[in-house]
Copies of this chain bind each other. A is one copy, B any other.
């Protein structure tokens, strides 16, 4: 729904993500070097949501975006649109 660069960090983007029945969660991700916030807004990606929230540079992060383990992390997405919050199996 929203994404912005974290001021003072060369790594972090802070997103507000609609997880459907789980509600909206804040997600901090170290992808600023490769993605602009505007490339993320309005799209669907894959997240891990069953982890303890953790603080990153003072911000609560309540999920983790999934990406490839390559020099540029390539974010995972569904191959077509699904309802927000749909689970993966």
Contacts and interface: CB of A to CB of B under 8 A. Distances in A.
Interface of A is mostly: loop
Nearest to A73: B89
A6 interface: no
Interface residues of A, number: 21
Nearest to A70: B86
Contact of A68 (B67, B69, B73, B78): B78
The count of identical subunits is 2
A83 interface: yes
A49 interface: no
A66 B80 CA distance: 13
A45 interface: yes
16 contacts: A66-B88, A67-B88, A67-B89, A68-B78, A68-B82, A68-B87, A68-B88, A69-B86, A69-B88, A69-B89, A70-B83, A70-B86, A74-B79, A75-B78, A76-B77, A77-B78
